[in-house]
Amino acid sequence: MRIGNKDFDVKNKTYIMGILNVTPDSFSDGGKWKDQDAALRHAEEMIADGAAVIDIGGESTRPGHRQISDEEEIDRVAPVIRAVKAHFDVPVSVDTYKAKVAKAAIQAGADLVNDIWGLKYDPQMAGLIAGAGVACCLMHNKDKAEYENFYPDILQETAECVRIAREAGIARDKIILDPGVGFGKDCAMNLETVHYMERFHTLGYPLLLGTSRKSFIGLTLDLPADQREEGTMVTTVMAVMKKYAFVRVHDVKANARAVRMTEAILAAGEE
C-alpha cells in the first residue's frame, strides 16, 4: 500500500501512526501541541521514535466533545500539516469526518484521510477522497451502542463503509479499516472488539487499531488517561499478533519497541 510517497508492507508489518492533536481539549493531551512550534517538535520526536505516519487532528472526538466549525478546524490543522510536510519526509494523515476540512488538509499536503464515521457523516467525503486519490482509513462508528448481534453487526456496518468507498471510486489499495474501539460501544463491547479483532480480516483490507489511552483501558485498570500506556501496549502487541497493519498511539517510542519485540518473537517461530 502506498501512502504519500512511502510504500507500506501491510501484510507482513505493523506500522506506528503517531497522534498529533492540535486541539485545546483532547481527552489525554489537550493543548500540549496546539502551538505550531510545539507541534513540529512533537512530530520530530515521534518520527525519531518510530512513527511511520503522523495523524493530525483539530477537533476532539472524546465522549461529550464540542463540535467546532469547519473553519476553526481548518485553521488548526492546515498550517500544521503544511509545516510538517515542509520539514519532514513522512506521510501525514488528517483526522476529520468533514469533507471541507479534508479538502483543505489535502491541499495542505495530507496523504490520508482518517474518518471516524467511515464516510457516513458527510456525503461529500467519499467523492472528495476518490477525486484526490489519497488513502483513507474508515472507522466503524454509530450513535448508540445498540446491536442485535454485536460482532456480525459491526462487520456488516463496516462493510457498508467499504461499499460507499468503492461506489464513489476510491481504489481498493487506498482503503484501511478500523474496528472503532471506543466509538459506539460500551466497555465490554470494546474488550470484545479487541479480543476478536482478527475477524475484521474477513473484509479483505489492511487494518488499523486505535486504542491509545481510551476509556475502556481506564475502566478496566481504574486509571486516568495519563496512566494507560501499559494497557495500550498490551493491545499493540495483540494487534501485531493478529496481523494489523497500523496502530495509532500517543506514546510512539514504547509502542514501537513493543511492535519490534513482538515481530521478532513471531519471526523466530516461523524459522
Q: What is the pLDDT of residues 66-118, one digit of tens each?
A: 788 999 999 999 999 999 999 999 999 999 999 999 999 999 999 999 999 99
How confident is residue 27, by pLDDT bands cut at 50, 70 and 90?
very low
Give pLDDT, residue 66.
72
Q: Tell me how crowded residue 118 is: count the other CB atoms within 10 A of its CB.
A: 27
Report percent pLDDT > 90 for the chain: 89
**Amino acid at site 13:** K
d(CA 222, CA 217): 8
C-alpha cell at 257: 519497541
Determine which of 31-35, 98-102, 171-175, 229-233 has the lowest per-residue pLDDT on average. Answer: 31-35
Query: H-helix or E-strand containing 81?
Result: helix 70-87
Please enumerate in sequence order all residues whose Cβ is within 8 A of that of 159, keeping only pairs 6 or more positions apart, or say none.
203
pTM: 0.94
pLDDT tops 80 at residue 30: no
User: What's the full length of the chain, in residues?
Assistant: 271
d(CA 170, CA 129): 7
C-alpha cell at 82: 503544511
* Arithmetic mean of pLDDT, 4-22: 97
How confident is residue 36, by pLDDT bands cut at 50, 70 and 90?
confident
- Per residue in 104-144, pLDDT (tens digit) is 999 999 999 999 999 999 999 999 999 999 999 999 999 99
Q: What one-character DSSP code corresponds to residue 196? A: T
Give pLDDT, residue 67.
83
Active site residues: 214, 248
- Per residue in 175-210, pLDDT (tens digit) is 999 999 999 999 999 999 999 999 999 999 999 999
Give pLDDT, residue 149.
98
**Which CA distances in Å does 61 have to 1, 30, 125, 215, 221?**
27, 12, 18, 13, 22
d(CA 146, CA 123): 23
Residue 21: helix, strand or coil by DSSP? strand
Choose among 90, 8, 7: nearest CA to 49. Answer: 90
Please enumerate in sequence order all residues whose Cβ is within 8 A of that of 195, keeping only pairs 6 or more positions apart, or say none.
none
Q: Tell me how crowded residue 133 is: count the other CB atoms within 10 A of its CB.
A: 11
Q: Tell me how crowded residue 219 is: count the other CB atoms within 10 A of its CB.
A: 14
For residues 26 and 255, which has the higher predicted lDDT (pLDDT)?
255
pLDDT tops 80 at residue 29: no
How confident is residue 255, by pLDDT bands cut at 50, 70 and 90?
very high
